[in-house]
Structure 1
Amino acid sequence: MSNTTGTVPDAGRRQRRRHVMAIQALAAALLVVAAAVVYSRGASAASTSASTTDQPLSTAQQQAGMTSGQPFADPPVLDTVTSPNTTITLNAHDTRFEVAGKQVWGKSYNGSFIAPTLHFVPGEHATITLVNNLSVATNLHFHGLHVSPSNDSDDSFLCIAPGTTFHYHLDLPADHPVGTYWYHSHAMGTTCPSDGSAMAGMDMPPSPGAGFSPGDVENQIFAGLSGALVVGDDRALLPPTLQHIATHTVNLKDVQLDKTGHIVENTDTTSIDSNAPTVRLVNGQLLPVLTVKPGETQLWRLANVGADIWYHLQLDGYRFTVIGQDGVPASKVTTADTLLLPPGKRYDVLVTAGNRPGGTTLRTLAFGNGPDGDSYPDTPLFTVDVAGSAQAQLPPVSGALPSSLPDLSNATVAQNRSVTLSGDDSAGFFINGRQFRMDSSVFSTPAKLNTVEEWTITNEAGEDHPFHIHTNSFQVISINGVPQPYAGRQDTVPVPHEANGVPGKVVIRVPFSDFTGKVMFHCHIAAHEDNGMMSYIDVVD
């Protein structure tokens, strides 16, 4: 493995918060010294020290009482294929759980901050029972799965009221791509319609002109309602010598705590401050240690299952071999020094340890997503301890993998559409000048089943927006006018922010195959979709 040097973009700032953040920084500086001393002794008094101020706790204060350096642990797996008697039930409830050994209050599926990993196989009929023991409405979205967007399948318009149970039924096509997906709440409000009509939406306005009401996706994902989902086993696509290597699911998700040990929430007027101090966790662990043998190759399933913040990953001294993106096997295996994961993004990568014992660190590099966006510090995520008996290094993987999806570069385009992203924290967020409406799309004409469309996505905002489409993965054709070589399809792409008066622009091609219904698309920063940057397209036969 060759050594690498990460590129650190210029850090962005939320312009509207400059003065507030300056005051916060002064207060945090006075608190962090005392908090660091307490944290070094493993005590929990740091959070108590914040009780005299309304300022956010520093990262050191939030980490006080957490345990770092534990062995890396994958989430438990719920699998109806290898364990036929397993019933997949997800119990959503307000929970007091452990986060890195510290008692924290949030929301969970089945009692953990990181939900269990679901495992399906192509061609499977899967039933998932959602029990809503929350005090607010909720639902489920199976992010990236190519299944129906209607009825009791992956329908984000469903509203599961408090105290009720709903059975989701997913029919995965026999040729469904194998790789890493995830699932999470897609609650578009906190209450269900009084008439009980699920498709009427949650507490969104029923008709144009009735005003806009924000959703609850940010609060519910941030509090704990998300987890990984794996379809099949993409090791089977690799050469025979690599089909039995170790795998690890790496859920990337941060936590912000208040002085009482509760995960912070947004309010009716403000979103969670994604630029505030936060604790970066891996599978709910703080700086765990993953042991790898010298020369050993492993498959890591990297998934950003958080609500708002980005990860710019680097494994010090190594390169990632990318075999899949957003659950789709690579049509061309590539290597990368760094990987950018906005909320919702996934990569399946091979990592091969060096031949000698030692150690390295997976980190998220310092990163800014635009002048009106966030500025994140360089933060270590977990340590890789290379130890034990050496293994013979396996040959590298190259070329295309079986089951990759065909290139759409020469496909017939049935329709061209324009999608314009705009807005900010103070004004709200918009697609084509409109905030999300349950009763109408930003498009006046539907998409036709079994056609390919070309969408030009323009970003007029001062921060990058990760654009996501449900049901169908797409192909990126160009970014800011630069043609993109085809390496596979994806379901989430960062759209660059406006720079020097020139909007960012991404061109994609979307195949609408197999399923009709309302297919949603939105920015996957949860605060932005909650506050209007979301719509849908009707797909008709």
Structure 2
Amino acid sequence: MDRNSQTSAVNAQRWPTPRARPLALACLLAAAPLTLCAQDDAPRELDQPVMARMLRSGDAKTPSLLLTKSGPQPLDTHEAILDLRITYTVSNIWNPQHNRFDKVKLRSYQSPGTDPSVPFVAPTIVTSPGETVRVRLDNALPPEQCGSSGINVPHCFNSTNLHSHGLWVSPTGNSDNVLLTLRPGVKFEYEYNLPADHPAGTFWYHPHLHGSTALQVSSGMAGALLVRGNRLPSAHRNGDLDTLLRDPGGTPYPERVLLFQQVAYACRGAPTPTDPLGKIKTDPATGAWVCNPDDVGGLEAYDQFGFTADGKNLWNVSGRYTSINGEVLPTFFGLVAGRAERWRLLHAGVRNTINLQLRAVRAGAASIEGLSGTALDGWVTQNCTGPLLPQFEVAADGLSHAQAIEKGENILQPGYRSDALVVFPQGGRYCVIDGAAPPGGSITNAAEDRQLLGLANVAAGSAPPVNDIRAYLTQNLITSAKYLMPEDIRAKVVADLSDRLRLNAFVPHKDITAGEVTGKQELVFDIDTKAVPLEYKVNGKSYDPNSARDLVLGNIEEWTLTSKVGAHPFHIHVNPFQVVSILNPQGVEVSVTGEPGDSQYANTQGTWKDTLFVKPNYKLFVRTRYERYIGEYVLHCHILDHEDQGMMQNVRMLVPDGKGGGIGNAHH
């Protein structure tokens, strides 16, 4: 079997062809006859994001030939090509407030094979270490006149670029270069050369042009980027977790990519001289955003992000729902009790925290049809009554843990990824919910409303109920390790798994010890709340494309991350970092046990990440190695409207003498 056929066969195991979609959530829970179910309720089964149709070397459409003495022979250059077009798309988004679809017109990615009925989620890119991924990006958005109010005023909403979030690749040229600007009408080919030692894991891609990032990402312009690995561990090197997460026969665990998005569309009234876009339509009683049946919602201004004049979080006020893979309130099918699955969770939203919880539905639960807001919260409180189902996180931000972390609450901040092993103990219906954010733990520093994200229908299967999920999962992994791991490492892997699900043989980076550290860096997020408009700052300054933090290739440094005002997810491009310590305002270490009512920092000590939530007046210490790549890139807050308004800083990685690095990128 050739390489492309192998890829297709493996993908078929993880992404089955879409089945005819069953009746929707409200119909499944209703006691009324099925004939009474609304037609619009029907098509919301949770499907996987469509797989990107990528041309690889040797495909009939991209023949690659090498001239030899015996004639032309195929040349496997380990390259994959994806065509990605950006344009306006008109489609529908389900609105539970009114039990109907809202018509919307949003910027979106289009690609061969994209499902036109679910356009606001990008196709999933699948690649492997050592492969070159070429993305032929076509900005087909209409021409625009950009404003000139300043670099940190949102602008140029039809201009764009592309970021491969979390990939360890070059930040310069036509690689992961977010300092490029692609105006409407421009076509450009990105080239991501993944090194042969690139970690396997869950990454993602999205636009990253300063000034338009939040608006484009919140329109649904984001997709999963999966790096699959087949490197077995040995006595001399660590391997890919993918090689363990299989049954004893070698079949990979079933996977689910769950891309969480917060599409902040709104419908507007007639334009006026003082408000050219028109005022957002709202419900007079609740303040929630409304769209009439003949309206077309959109996302064209930054008054759809942030807070109201009286300090309320606009996303919470809007009444919009977090979608999963482009669907609102979908139903999960294909689940079987007692079967371990790998859930790849990606927070591709702009600012609001997601607290993913799984609970069994109470027997005899009433229909949720017609419920929203506090009424839907009440339904969750009354009917999602089972104990929290444990999720065993084996990787964060695409990087495998040294030990599986058991979580009842999986708190995801914007930019986070979590690979979790999930086992449903018995058949039935389960709630998939965004639990109430812990006090002080959400980005808004206020508790979010509880919202139902969807329901999971779990078939009973033939096995008896699983009473101890940890023990069950441990035994399954040990059995697989005995069959699949090489002889020289097998006993160690089994011993590690027996010791609280340790995964030492699969961690992609070595720990950074205090003795290796060659320098220190400090980063402080801040918001000047007295300025009009607000000023968003890193180390006392708003973003300046002509200024940068100079770092030197080969150094190993410890960073201190703090925030004076508000909480912010810190993200840095290219090189990930290892969490060393997290101290609360009283100086108490919280990276091991977490805090009462807030579990998000628990068990983070020693983990590797590329995005980390910084709560106000906390001190977070992380260490990082500057490896392989020179050039200019960025660090920023991953509340993307904060980034667009100045909470970003350029980084210049210099050659080892610290005097230069061939940097010449221009932002605009």
TM-score computed with the length of structure 2 as normaliser: 0.63
CA distance in 2, matches of 1:458, 1:65: 51
2:453 maps to 381
CA distance in 1, matches of 2:221, 2:443: 30
Q: 2:431 aligns with which of 361, 368, 374?
A: 361
| TM-aligned CA deviation for residue 114 of structure 1 | 0.6
Q: Per-residue CA shift, 1:68-125, capped at 9, x if unaligned? A: 7732200111264889647401101111123346532111100610111111101101
Q: Is the aligned partner of 1:439 residue 2:546?
A: yes
Matches within 5 A, 1:124-273: 124-135=131-142, 136-188=158-210, 215-232=211-228, 234-238=241-245, 240-241=247-248, 243-258=251-266, 259=291, 260-267=295-302, 273=314
2:633 maps to 519
Unaligned 5+ segments in structure 1 are 1-39, 42-63, 189-214, 498-502
1:429 maps to 536
Unaligned 5+ segments in structure 2 are 1-25, 28-37, 60-79, 95-100, 111-115, 143-157, 230-240, 267-290, 308-313, 360-387, 467-471, 478-500, 593-604, 656-668
Q: 1:450 aligns with which of 537, 554, 564?
A: 554
CA distance in 2, matches of 1:126, 1:71: 31
2:107 maps to 107
CA distance in 2, matches of 1:76, 1:372: 33
Q: Is the aligned partner of 1:345 residue 2:416?
A: yes
Q: Is the aligned partner of 1:335 residue 2:406?
A: yes
CA distance in 2, matches of 1:330, 1:143: 19
Q: Is the aligned partner of 1:416 residue 2:520?
A: yes
1:23 maps to none
Q: 1:301 aligns with which of 344, 348, 351?
A: 344
Q: Which has the larger radius of gyration?
A: 2
CA distance in 2, matches of 1:511, 1:300: 29
Q: Per-residue CA shift, 1:375-405, capped at 9, x if unaligned? A: 4211111211111523587642511152432
1:72 maps to 46
**Shift in CA distance, 409/240, structure 1 to aligned 2, threshold 3 Å:** farther
**Shift in CA distance, 371/256, structure 1 to aligned 2, threshold 3 Å:** closer
2:580 maps to 477
Secondary structure of the structure 1 residue equivalent to 2:508 = coil
8 Å contact 2:635–2:648 — kept in the other structure?
yes
| TM-aligned CA deviation for residue 132 of structure 1 | 0.2
8 Å contact 2:631–2:654 — kept in the other structure?
yes
8 Å contact 2:579–2:623 — kept in the other structure?
yes
Instruction: Report the more deviating stretch, 265-274 or 339-348.
Output: 265-274
CA distance in 1, matches of 2:170, 2:39: 44
**Shift in CA distance, 84/344, structure 1 to aligned 2, threshold 3 Å:** farther
Secondary structure of the structure 2 residue equivalent to 1:115 = coil
Secondary structure of the structure 1 residue equivalent to 2:608 = coil
Q: 1:505 aligns with which of 613, 619, 624?
A: 619
1:28 maps to none
Matches within 5 A, 1:4-83: 67=41, 70-78=44-52, 80=54
CA distance in 2, matches of 1:265, 1:366: 30
CA distance in 1, matches of 2:643, 2:551: 22
8 Å contact 1:128–1:169 — kept in the other structure?
yes
Secondary structure of the structure 2 residue equivalent to 1:245 = coil
Which residue identity lines up with residue 349 of structure 2 in the other structure?
G
2:645 maps to 531
**Shift in CA distance, 69/337, structure 1 to aligned 2, threshold 3 Å:** farther
**Shift in CA distance, 76/95, structure 1 to aligned 2, threshold 3 Å:** same
Q: Is the aligned partner of 1:88 residue 2:158?
A: no
8 Å contact 1:141–1:183 — kept in the other structure?
yes
Which residue identity lines up with residue 385 of structure 1 in the other structure?
N
8 Å contact 1:253–1:305 — kept in the other structure?
yes
Matched positions, count: 445
Which residue identity lines up with residue 138 of structure 1 in the other structure?
T
Q: 1:285 aligns with which of 316, 320, 327?
A: 327
Which residue identity lines up with residue 106 of structure 2 in the other structure?
G
CA distance in 2, matches of 1:82, 1:183: 20
Which residue identity lines up with residue 301 of structure 1 in the other structure?
R
Identity over the aligned pairs, expressed in percent? 29
Which residue identity lines up with residue 120 of structure 1 in the other structure?
T
CA distance in 2, matches of 1:172, 1:106: 32
Q: Per-residue CA shift, 1:299-334, capped at 9, x if unaligned? A: 100001112221011112310111110011112222
CA distance in 2, matches of 1:68, 1:310: 29
CA distance in 1, matches of 2:214, 2:411: 21
8 Å contact 1:69–1:286 — kept in the other structure?
no
Secondary structure of the structure 1 residue equivalent to 2:632 = strand
Structure richer in strand, relative to its length: 1
**Shift in CA distance, 483/268, structure 1 to aligned 2, threshold 3 Å:** closer
Which residue identity lines up with residue 511 of structure 1 in the other structure?
R
CA distance in 2, matches of 1:66, 1:99: 11
Q: 2:128 aligns with which of 118, 121, 130?
A: 121
